[in-house]
Amino acid sequence: MVGSANVDLTTFSDRFPKAGETIFGEHFDLGWGGKGANQAVASRLCGADVTMVARVGDDLFGPATITNFQAQGIDASHVKVIPGVSSGVAPIFVESNGQNRIIVVKGANDRLSPADVDAAESVLGSADCIVLQFEIPLETVYHTVRFAKARGIRCIVNPAPALPIDIAALAGVDYFVPNETEAEAITGMSVRTIDEAGACARHLVAQGIGRVILTLGERGALLAHAGGVDVVPPFQVATKDTTGAGDAFVGSFAVFLGEGHAERDAIARANLYAALSTTGVGTQKSFVTRERFDEEWQTRATGAPSVRP
């Protein structure tokens, strides 16, 4: 995982305040976040050996973030503290319907350079898969894509949050995984209906992206490649907080695919892993263990009740 680490400061309220208005929130949650870190934790919980390449600040949050990676069993030897810089933080606001709005202050994440990726060559060079997001400098993302392709390593890019990009610099990625908002921002195309999502994903494929998985929240996910478009349906759950669901999808998908599951099956499993994450509050702390996932998959995908050994 080459990506960001943040501390999430999440406020839950009935609704969002209007401009100039003060309202009371219902409760507050402090947790580990950042799209890169979240995806690393999801992959680790799903059973992968994960190395994190990241930068944190020299404030209270930085060393604690490294300790959190270590506690999760993630190799943090390439997570370094940058003196004089704040760690990444994310004030998050969640409404009662589970929808969220996030402001990310990138802090030290913005210092992760192409040279830092090269310095991690000893571990990255032997990875089965490298996963990237957009909370680090884009030049580092592009460099890492080239790094992965030069070594024949599978590369998954989650373009979150959406930024204007040089699509040619990403043309070699194996999987490009935006949500609806990100796909709209990147292509300028509307993604309100499934047909529009298909057209948008096909447009990205036509621009040289190998395979596009457009995550559609409660409508599932749409896969597009040169051979066509396929919609993979969602799983119904009682949603409390959707924050981090996209990260749960990407981190788990990388593992399911790496385990050798067929692509559509890996997407279906990631749909379930992401859906389960929305039944809990917070980001990393809402991600389920592999054991819990396997029980749910057994019940929901096969219809058979799960049996605990």
- Kindly tell me which residue out of 87, 158, 187, 283 binds ligand RIB, with binding defined by CB under 6 A: 283
For 249, list phi and psi in degrees, rounded to 5: -60, -55
Cα–Cα distance for residue pair 187/222, rounded to 1 Å: 16
Task: Give the x-and-dash track for 216-255 against ligand RIB (CB under 6 A).
Answer: ---------------------------xx-xx--------
Instruction: State yes or no: residue 159 binds ligand RIB (CB under 6 A).
Output: no
The nearest distance, CB 297 to ligand RIB, in angstroms, is: 23
Instruction: State yes or no: residue 209 binds ligand RIB (CB under 6 A).
Output: no
Residue 88 β-bridge partners: 6
When the beta carbons of 68 and 283 are compared against ligand RIB, the nearer one is 283
When the beta carbons of 33 and 57 are compared against ligand RIB, the nearer one is 33
Instruction: State yes or no: residue 78 binds ligand RIB (CB under 6 A).
Output: no
Q: Which stretch binds ligand RIB (CB under 6 A): 33-41, 60-68, 184-192, 198-206?
A: 33-41
Distances (CA, A) of 262 to 48, 83, 254, 268: 17, 45, 12, 10
When the beta carbons of 76 and 104 are compared against ligand RIB, the nearer one is 104
Pick from 171, 182, 180, 178: nearest CA to 208: 171
Instruction: State yes or no: residue 10 binds ligand RIB (CB under 6 A).
Output: no
Locate tokens 């559609």: which residue? 216
- Kindly tell me which residue out of 1, 2, 3, 8 binds ligand RIB, with binding defined by CB under 6 A: 8
Instruction: State yes or no: residue 35 binds ligand RIB (CB under 6 A).
Output: yes
Q: Is 263 exposed, middle or buried (0-12, 13-18, 19+ CB in 10 A)?
A: middle
Cα–Cα distance for residue pair 63/78, rounded to 1 Å: 13
Which residues in the 90-149 window bind ligand RIB by CB under 6 A? 90, 102, 104, 135
- Kindly tell me which residue out of 1, 3, 12, 34 binds ligand RIB, with binding defined by CB under 6 A: 34
- Per the annotation, the verdict on 247 as an active-site residue is yes
Q: Which of 8, 75, 174, 247 is catalytic?
A: 247
Cα–Cα distance for residue pair 187/162, rounded to 1 Å: 10
The nearest distance, CB 156 to ligand RIB, in angstroms, is: 15
Instruction: State yes or no: residue 286 binds ligand RIB (CB under 6 A).
Output: no
When the beta carbons of 159 and 198 are compared against ligand RIB, the nearer one is 159
Contact residues: ligand RIB, CB under 6 A? 6, 8, 33-35, 38, 90, 102, 104, 135, 243-244, 246-247, 283
Active-site positions read 247
